Amino acid sequence: MTSKIKAILALAPNADVTEYNNIITWNDGNPNNITEEQIIAKQAELQADYDAKQYQRNRAKEYPSIQDQLDMQYWDKINSTNTWQDAINAVKNKYPKETE
């Protein structure tokens, strides 16, 4: 779950807040008058955005290293093959981008 601090900072980037034992302390007195409801709504929004990008995190773990990709591209050019494109497409197909 997205933290309350992260949600507060998304609402007011200059907010001076701390959290200890799940208690928020407004060191600056909450000049923007951010409510608990606004924080909860922003947490839900940030969490939904994070969840929607799970495919990106999955792909990043499985893509070949940059060095391997460059090597594939070099040999594809020399051999007129599509090894690099096939490798990238395999990962993209395994973890498709979610569309709405």
In this prediction, residue 47 carries a pLDDT of 95
Range of the domain at 8: 4-52
In this prediction, residue 7 carries a pLDDT of 95
Structural domains of the chain, count:
2
Residue 48 domain-assigned (yes or no) = yes
Per-residue pLDDT tens, the chain, 100 aa: give them: 779 999 999 999 999 999 898 889 999 999 999 999 999 999 999 999 999 999 999 999 999 999 999 999 999 999 999 999 999 999 999 999 976 4
40 & 69 share domain: no
In this prediction, residue 2 carries a pLDDT of 79
Residue 100 domain-assigned (yes or no) = no
Taking alpha carbons only, the member of 33, 42, 34, 3 closest to residue 20 is 3
What is the model's pTM? 0.72
Rounded-to-integer distance, Cα 39 and Cα 26, Å: 13
37 & 61 share domain: no
Percent helix / strand / coil, the chain, rounded to 5 = 60, 10, 30
43 & 61 share domain: no
Rounded-to-integer distance, Cα 53 and Cα 98, Å: 8
